[in-house]
Amino acid sequence: MEEDEANELRDFSAPIFFNQPRHMEDIRGLKMLEKSWKMTERMKTVSVALVLCLNVGVDPPDLIKPTPCARLECWLDPLTMNPNKSLEAVGNSLQKQYERWQPKARYKQSLDPTVEEVKKLCLSLRRNARDDRVLFHYNGHGVPKPTQNGEIWVFNKNYTQYIPLSIYDLQSWITGPTVFAYDCSNAGAIIEHYKLFCQQRSEEANGENDVETPVNKLENCIHMASCSSNEVLPLNPDLPADLFTSCLTTPIKTALRWFCINNNNLLVPNVTLEMIEKIPGRLNDRRTPIGELNWIFTAVTDTIAWNVLPIKTFQKLFRQDLLVASLFRNFLLAERIMRSFNCSPTSHPNLPATHNHPMWYTWDLVLDRCLSQLPSIIDNGQEFMHSTFFEDQLTAFQVWLALGSKERSVPEQLPVVLQVLLSQIHRIRALDLLGKFLDLGVWAVELALSVGIFPYVLRLLQSSARELRPRMLFIWAKVLAHDISCQVDLVKDGAYKYFLYILADPQMTSNDRAMAAYVMAMIVKDYPIGKEAAQQSNIIAVCTELLDDSNPLLRQWVVLCLGYEWHGYDPARWCAVRDNAYEKLYHLLSDDCVEVRASVVYALGTFVSNKNDRSGQADNIDQGIGMTLAGCVKDASPVVRKELVVALSGFVLEFESYFITTASKLMRDSDYEKEKNRVGNTHSGSTAPGGWIYVPNKNNGPPPLPLPYHGSDSSHFQATRRSRLISSPSSHSLSPPTSGDFHPALERLLSLPTRNVYNMVWRALITLLHDPFPEISDLGKELYNYLMIKITASNSSPTGSLRPSDSFSSAVTSQGLDDVSVLSIKKTFKGIERSRSQPQMPISDMMPHSQQFSSKRTVFGRGPGPLNSDSSDDETDNRIYRLPNVKTELGSWCSSQFRKSLLKPINHYDPSSQEYYNNEWKYLSNAEIRAEAAASYRYLSKSQLDDECFIQRTNFSPQIIRFMEYKKAVVVAGQNEINVWNWEQSNKVKTFRNNLKNHKISAMEIVNEHHLPLLLVGTDDGSLRLWKHFDDDENLKLVTAWKGLSDLLKSSFRRSGLVVSWEQEAGKLLCSGDVRTVSIWDVRREMKVQEIPTGADSCVTSISGGADKSSLLVAGCGDGSVRLFDRRLPANESRVKTLFEHKAWVVKVHKQSGGSGNIISGSIAGDVKFWDPRFTESVKTISTQCTLNAMDVHKEADIFVCGSASQVIQVYNHSGEMNSCIKYHDGFRVQRIGPISCLAFHPYRVMFAAGSKDCLLSVYSPPDKRR
């Protein structure tokens, strides 16, 4: 039972590799969408016109008022005072009510005015306000209703007549932007006529330019009217006559009175209207009853508007202008109250109905609880009990976050969370919930910013509370990942120091400091003012102190922050020089984290790539960085190597003239060595025991190291170079220079040893040009094309026209460039030829940094700029020598990771995700397959593996076969093509080519078989490629690629190419082949962790490490030896045994898993030996009596299979007994097999596949296993 349970749980604990974001997605930043939350302009109301037409004591002729009726104006009864004083008192009271909302505005009263007074007032206010907003408040309770012609009423000078004032004229005087508030009967008619007049002006403007009154300003005006065009204001004596104005300016008092009147004192029977005036507190003090009511009212009305209005309208009315926002919050109350009296307030922009929104019932509950305490507070002095409104709303928001579905609607409590940020009592909880909401995705961040969260979280950066820091870091990381332009606001008020202090605070956790480093990186990225501010705050010293932190995310963003800081900013570069910051980055080039290594390469690349004036010291520093970067060319991660191409391109462009000279020298040296080797090989040479060719030296001493092999293109490349020297008309320019050809500094440069920086970087670029990852090779081609054009142009005769020769095209092609690239170069040279068909220009004028150097220039200085030429020549040169477009989006991609969820677990670890349940089902299914296979092992002695259950003809001769563990599929490779077959249904699942250069496939493994399988393919040039979706209908994707082996050695007869062994549990990949070492790669870190010398003079043909995390490594070699290595020992001491019983090429070595750790090996001579690692002699030998071409050992069962060129397949058990023998037979309906080229067992099932040289693929199993 325990074994069964362990079998079921095995896959749940098995590691998964190549599942990081860098493997699952392209390294590209997310496209920045238009930020709708940011308003293009902020407005403020600076002037207010209060126009009151009351005519106290005289009722308008078109209205008969009952007795009693509403009399209060601004909570004053004008009939109790002298008419003149009462009008003035009402005006002053209205001004004070507005001043509560906008105390800094310029107020002007116009009491019972004439037309001229209104005109003068409007023109004056607009002149002073300029482009700011003006508020025009009109009270028409003492004049007739607006006319059908779009007119309101004012008075004549003697107050004997009502004089009409056209809205058309009012538009011309006050223009826009303006806010209009109309408190009169039929007020909606004013808005209708206003829009008609705007339309009329627009039609007039189409014919002629109306500069005096811009139509767009008029159309953007805001209007609020107390009722619609056919309604009369309420005259209830318990309410003020200016009920609409009271709602707009004194909402809490109006709401309390209406609540008491409307509920007939049923809910609060002991509260009177007089007691309402005695509610203690101030509106701006949230700790008092009246202040808390005002705070809750703001939250309620904001919530209603947020949930009802479109975002654009909400921002315009509630976030653009403080006064307008307050008025429209109060307008929502006015709509609710006045609708209860059969009046429908209207506005422009038009708002949907909000009077019946559910949040109003919450507001009623708040009023009820407040008023119920009022008698005891007034009479007994009882302490006020604060409302639980905000706690309840936060709880509702928390429930929404916890239980909402993926298709959830917008949370209505979001504006409440914004208001709670102002409260110290609820702030921590609100920030926690806000962070969880922002973690839902980009849409959540956009919503939070749209509701107006930004100024609140910006203000909170002034707080020194330590408990807020982690929460503020998380929120700001999300905000900056969504919109980096917020960096401006952080720098403007010095708020960036908040994050810099956290970054330098050792008491903060490393995760918090990582977010602080990210925020600082975003602040200085491409923002000179931010760079300067951070530099003054000593950011480079702070960052360099954190380079050795244990948190990889912190190391990554500290490095990126340094790169952003000194990119294009010389003061930061020289500060880094003084602190040796760039040197402190070197050791991170071998960091365990791929993103850290890539960030270091980026930062060093930006340090070098600087277009400002330079000195000899700067050049020396950059050359040291260039040499360091060139050593990263063998990094296993394509993310690092892509950044390396960009970094080296900046270095090349900085020292362009030297690279042109160095490249020319390398071409000459390469051609000379090739010719020398060709002549020398015709006379002498020696062959190592393993078949490698040695090139004898000129002193007839001991042979040097084997000649590096660079793949199948190397010989063609060298031959092309040689033919170029012989046939090219301009080849004389590649000969060794005479004393007068170059400046002495360049002559000294040509005599530098091979290890000089320019040679190293050039060779690194050539390596990247042949990179197995296409994106990297494409970037390399871009840079290489640019250099080759310049090199060829510089090597052409100064007096002759420049013509691209055929030898140049062949040389470019031999370097791995495609036909399109060559064609583009040819087109470029045609442009050069056309541009030089006129009077010839010296080559120094055409080539930047190629003319004669000044004698005072330092050896490591940059070349001078080009000589002066006319603008047409400059344009031609810029077109011909277009700078290479070599760039990546690493920084943007790293930043985009903060857009993802940082709080939720990854899906396959999250029990609430569908992916988790899919994986659980798959793991249990895998366990059933393993259990079923294990049960069949006991019947091996009674059944033979000779039933051919699958046979198909392939398009190639199979070279490598791999069964998929948990799918009924077999993967077969030959030369450069891969086929995936379903062996049960006998159909082809997928076919594809491994690479475009036709390198032979020599190794193949399947990674993550228990999860989502990936196909690892190795070729004879040392390249490794990892493919995703190789076994399904989805598009094939290259996950990663790197050089598992470099500097492969030539062989005189047979080559093993690249051989690998994959250890799934340990995440290690063992690589060897035509080299003298065994390389061990840690795929989680994507770096080589160990390189063990084999000590053999022949290639490694097979390698095995076992699946039990053992330190023992077994390698079979071409000379017949089997070598055992202990990985725990130092590399030079790790070979612990060498077994020499085989006398020929070792076909297969297999280290058994489990306690015994026995080793099985077979050679091409047909002898199969069993070894105990403790002894130097084999414990058993089985002779197959035939020459072996292929062999495989079952992973679990005690059987192995051998295949020979004599068309025989033999299956043995470990005791040496033959289980099956499959031979070629003539006749009808018999098995036909060809010379065996490859064999492979299924990892668990008792079956094997065989590939033959006549392009046949077969699968054999016991008779009862046919499926």
The per-residue pLDDT for range 6-56, each reduced to its tens digit, is 777 888 888 999 999 999 998 888 776 666 777 767 788 999 999 999 998
Residues 132 and 45: beta-carbon distance below 8 Å:
yes
What is residue 838's predicted lDDT score, i.e. its pLDDT?
Answer: 41
512 DSSP assignment: H
CA 645, chain centre distance (Å): 20
- The whole-number pLDDT of residue 701 equals 39
CB within 8 Å of 124: residues ≥ 6 apart: 108
Q: How confident is the model at residue 249 (pLDDT cuts 50, 70, 90)?
A: very high
Query: Which comes out higher in pLDDT, residue 794 or 188?
Result: 188
- pLDDT tens sequence across 463-496: 989 999 999 999 999 999 999 999 999 999 899 9
Q: Which of 1036, 989, 1032, 1034 is nearest to 1017 (CA)?
A: 1036
Asked whether 397 and 435 are in contact (CB, 8 A), the reply is no
What confidence tier does 461 reach under pLDDT thresholds 50, 70, 90?
Answer: very high
pLDDT at 214 over 60: yes
Per-residue pLDDT of 721-774, as tens digits, reads 333 333 333 333 322 333 333 333 333 333 444 457 888 888 898 899 999 999
Q: Is the pLDDT of residue 428 over 60?
A: yes
Q: How far apart are CA 273 and CA 239, in angstroms?
A: 11
Quick one: pLDDT at residue 593?
A: 95
Cβ atoms of residues 1102 and 1149 within 8 Å = yes
Residue 846 has pLDDT above 60, yes or no: no
pLDDT for 276 equals: 85
Residue 787 pLDDT? 84
pLDDT at 812 over 50: no
Give the pLDDT band of residue 796 (cuts 50, 70, 90): low
* H or E stretch covering 1040: strand 1037-1043
Mean pLDDT of 1036-1065: 89
Closest CA to 565 of 541, 587, 549, 584: 541
pLDDT at 1260 over 90: yes
CB 1199 within 8 A of CB 1213: yes
The C-alpha atoms of residue 572 and residue 576 are separated, in whole angstroms, by 6
For the ranges 310-319, 746-755, 870-879, the one whose mean pLDDT is highest: 310-319
**Confidence band of 831 (pLDDT split at 50, 70, 90):** very low
Q: For residue 673, what pLDDT is reported?
A: 66
Decide if pLDDT at 5 tops 80. no
pLDDT surpasses 60 at 986: yes
C-alpha distances in angstroms, 334 versus 244, 273, 341? 6, 19, 11
Q: Do residues 171 and 198 lie in contact, with contact meaning Cβ atoms separated by under 8 Å?
A: yes
- pLDDT confidence tier of residue 273, bands split at 50, 70 and 90: confident
Measured distance CA(1011)–CA(449) in Å, rounded? 40
pLDDT at 1153 over 90: no
pLDDT grade, residue 611 (50/70/90)? low
Where residue 213 falls among pLDDT bands split at 50, 70, 90? low
Look at residues 669, 599, 884, 644 and name the one whose alpha carbon lies nearest to residue 765: 644
- Nearest alpha carbon to residue 1208 among 1191, 1233, 1181, 1183: 1233
Assess whether pLDDT exceeds 70 at residue 534: yes
The 10s digit of each residue's pLDDT in 1083-1101 is 999 999 999 999 998 999 9
Name the pLDDT band for 883 (thresholds 50, 70, 90).
confident
C-alpha span between 41 and 1021 (Å, rounded): 60
The answer, yes or no, to whether residue 1180 has pLDDT greater than 80, is: yes
Q: What end-to-end distance do the CA atoms of the chain give, in Å?
A: 29
Token pair 């040169």 in the structure block, residue: 877
User: pLDDT tens digits, residue range 616-636?
Assistant: 788 889 889 999 999 999 999
pLDDT of residue 405: 63
Alpha carbons 48 and 133: distance in angstroms, whole number? 9
Which of the two residues, 961 and 695, has the higher pLDDT score?
961
With beta carbons less than 8 A apart as the criterion, state whether 266 and 165 touch: no
Bridge partners, 1026 (sequence order): 1016, 1040
pLDDT at 403: 82
Q: How confident is the model over 928-969, as pLDDT tens digits?
A: 999 999 888 888 877 888 888 999 999 999 999 999 999 999
pLDDT at 555 over 80: yes
1124-1141 residue pLDDT tens: 999 999 999 999 999 999
Token pair, residue 330, equals 């109060």
pLDDT score, position 849 = 35
Token representation of residue 126: 């607009």
pTM: 0.84
How high is the mean pLDDT of the chain?
Answer: 83
Of 134, 234, 126, 245, the C-alpha closest to 179 is 134
Distance CA 1045, CA 1021 (A): 8
pLDDT above 90 as % of the chain: 55
Q: Which helix (H) or strand (E) holds 918?
A: helix 914-936
Count of other CB atoms within 10 angstroms of residue 998: 13
Q: Which amino acid is at 861?
A: G
The one-character DSSP state at 1265 is G
Amino acid, res. 532: E
Residues 631 and 760: their CA atoms lie apart, in Å, by: 8
Report residue 1230's pLDDT band, with 50, 70 and 90 as the boundaries. Answer: low
Higher pLDDT, 749 or 200: 200
Per DSSP, the residues of 943-983 read: --S-EEEEEEE-SS---EEEE-SSSSEEEEEETTEEEEEET
287, pLDDT greater than 80? yes
User: φ, ψ for residue 832 (rounded to 5)?
Assistant: -60, -45
**Statement: residue 246 has pLDDT above 70:** yes
Q: Which contiguous run of DSSP H or E holds residue 478? A: helix 469-482
Contact 611, 620 (CB under 8 A): no
Q: What is the pLDDT of residue 940?
A: 80
Residue 252 is predicted with a pLDDT of: 94
Give the C-alpha separation, 1257 to 981, whole Å.
10
Quickly list H helices, 272-321. Answer: 273-276, 289-308, 311-318
Tens digit of pLDDT for each residue in 358-376? 999 999 999 988 888 888 8
Residue 284 has pLDDT above 90, yes or no: no
> Cα(370)–Cα(366) distance, rounded to whole angstroms?
6
Look at residue 538 in the predicted model and tell me its pLDDT: 94
The closest of 611, 581, 614, 601 to 647, measured between CA atoms, is 601
- pLDDT of 792: 78
Mean pLDDT, rounded, for 178-192: 95
Q: Which amino acid is at 220?
A: N
